[in-house]
Amino acid sequence: MQVLLRRLRSELFATPADGALSVALITLLSLGAFGFLRWALTQAQWAVVKVNSTLFAVGRYPIEQQWRLWLLTALLVAASGATWGLLRAHPRPDRTGVLWPSNDRLALALLALIALAVPFALGLTLAIQSRWWGLLLLLALCRWLAGRYGANLSPTGRRLAALVWPLLYLGGMALISGGLGLVGVPPSEWGGLLLTLLASSFAILLCFPIGVLLALGRRSELPLLRWGSVLYIEFIRGAPLITLLFLGQNILGFLLPGGLAPERVWRAAWVLTFFAAAYLAEAVRSGLAAVPRGQLEAARSLGLSYPKALQHVVLPQALRVALPAMVGQFISLLQDTTLLSLIGLLELLGTARTVMANPAFLGRNGEVYLTLAVLFWGCCAALGLGSRALERRLDPHAVPSAT
């Protein structure tokens, strides 16, 4: 108690000015928190979220086909748990690692809380609630198994294990859209969080290679390649995304021969991809500029060809430097998907607007927007956390630690 008091005093009331500032801030914060809680607990009517939770999650995806989404979620959860455990079982060769750092326990506890509390609060049926508990158990089990036995995996085995992710992505696409003997579900029936995540993950995955190629093109010694890249990057960066989205909807149909023009959702996803690639190229270019000339010279004088020197020496360093900027780009890309609602797609914001237009939920905008904000925040926080962990793992100067 004594210690706590002393610490409070030194942190909040060290000088009279500090004290005054602390009191003012505490008052403001508590007023804000009080006001918010009063609204959230007494005035807000959360029925609008409870009733429409499925709509927010997957849009109008046919209900009898939703088992495919559950299956995909379970596969993703299992792969995440296994990857998580494997990474802990294989710390970087020059560092020591703990199998269960306290951060991991905290994360698992938080996830458990969410899996128990959120489905309950949404008033889902017990059957659905238990599915979320099952997913949580699956995550913990895979995390535990991979951590326990993953250390025995050979380097080749680990490389093969990493292949699970691209396979899962392609398989997931097939599961969602149908094919391979499954009933087709056209993109026009995808919606909500599902569509938001699909469009943004598609754009993030594809804009990365395109952006790297553009950045290399911009530094190329071939004039045609260089000017082509500069023109592309500057044009895309000079145009607002919303105009490009409308342009994409109108022009792609004319550019491509009849029938080849992709479906509306895919058109939008491609526009997002090409848009993000231009910004990503600039982030990668800054990373390339940060790699000293001597690195390429050393690689070349060892006999490495230019592509090999790029692949093994220059790009790994450049991308590590560019990583924070790139992830910032991915996060804004995720948020930019809200613009898809303006071209009539029912992603999260589009779904929200249809819900709010329903006379039964008139005036419940606050609840809906707050839910949206929390969902987006969750996705962006996950991206940010992942990127920071990756940065720490790739940092050659970090002191040996538990990461």
Partner 1 sequence: MSQPSSELMIEARAVEKWYPNGFQALRGASLTVRRGEVVVIMGPSGSGKSTFIRTFNALEDFQKGSITVDGIVLSNDLRNIDAIRREVGMVFQQFNLFPHLSVLDNLTLAPVLVRKRPKAEVEKQARALLERVGIAEQAGKYPGQLSGGQQQRVAIARALCMEPRILLFDEPTSALDPEMVREVLEVMQDLAADDITMVVVTHEVKFARHVAHRVVLMADGEVVEEAEPEVFFTNPSHERTRRFLDQIL
Residues forming contacts to partner 1 in the complex (CB under 8 A) are 93-94, 292, 294-295, 297-305, 308, 312-313, 316-317, 320, 394, 396-397
Largest CA distance in the chain: 78
**Closer to partner 1 at the Cβ: 82 or 288?**
288
**CB-CB neighbours of 87 under 10 Å:** 18
The crossing angle, in degrees rounded to 10, of helices 164-177 and 192-218 is 130
**Closer to partner 1 at the Cβ: 254 or 397?**
397
**Closer to partner 1 at the Cβ: 201 or 295?**
295
In this structure, which amino acid lies at residue 260? L
CA dist list (Å): 316 to 193, 304, 349, 396:
33, 15, 37, 12
**Closer to partner 1 at the Cβ: 113 or 302?**
302
**Closer to partner 1 at the Cβ: 257 or 396?**
396
**Closer to partner 1 at the Cβ: 68 or 320?**
320
**CB-CB neighbours of 286 under 10 Å:** 15
* Residue found under tokens 């429409």: 52
What residues contact residue 151 under an 8 Å CB cut-off, 6+ apart?
Answer: 89, 90
What residues contact residue 272 under an 8 Å CB cut-off, 6+ apart?
Answer: 199, 200, 202, 203, 207, 241, 245, 333, 336, 337
- In angstroms, give the least distance from the CB of 253 to partner 1: 44
As a three-state string, the secondary structure of 256-305 is CCCCCCCCHHHHHHHHHHHHHHHHHHHHHHHHHHHCCHHHHHHHHHCCCC
- In angstroms, give the least distance from the CB of 213 to partner 1: 21
- In angstroms, give the least distance from the CB of 306 to partner 1: 9
The crossing angle, in degrees rounded to 10, of helices 16-38 and 2-12 is 100
What residues contact residue 334 under an 8 Å CB cut-off, 6+ apart?
Answer: 196, 200, 204, 376, 379, 380, 383
**Closer to partner 1 at the Cβ: 317 or 335?**
317
**Closer to partner 1 at the Cβ: 76 or 394?**
394
